Amino acid sequence: MEWRASHILVKDRAQAAELLKKIKQGASFESLAREFSQCPSKSSGGDLGWFGPGKMVGAFEEAVKRLGSGSVSDVVSTQFGHHIIKKTGQR
């Protein structure tokens, strides 16, 4: 199994919660990723491409597994910061 996902990574949990609120109100995930994410993937709207088991940190991978395609996660915290994850595919 492989998954494809995009994410927004920020250091501040309150900022992540605010961005999630904007997404739920209809804001563009990709636009917010380009503007606010602190990951190099921001240049591609947060797209991380395809990845398989063990390629991402545990909490991130578990969140992606639970999401339906096109769904957005709640805030997921890892050693890198706070993520908002959008699952964009599964194969």
Return the closest-CA partner of residue 89 out of 48, 29, 39.
48
Mean pLDDT (10-residue bins), the chain, 91 residues:
98 98 98 98 98 97 97 98 98 97
DSSP classification of residue 2: -
pLDDT at 73: 98
Structural domains for the chain: 3-90 (3.10.50.40)
pTM of the model: 0.97
pLDDT at 8: 98
Q: Which residue type does 82 have? A: H
pLDDT at 25: 98
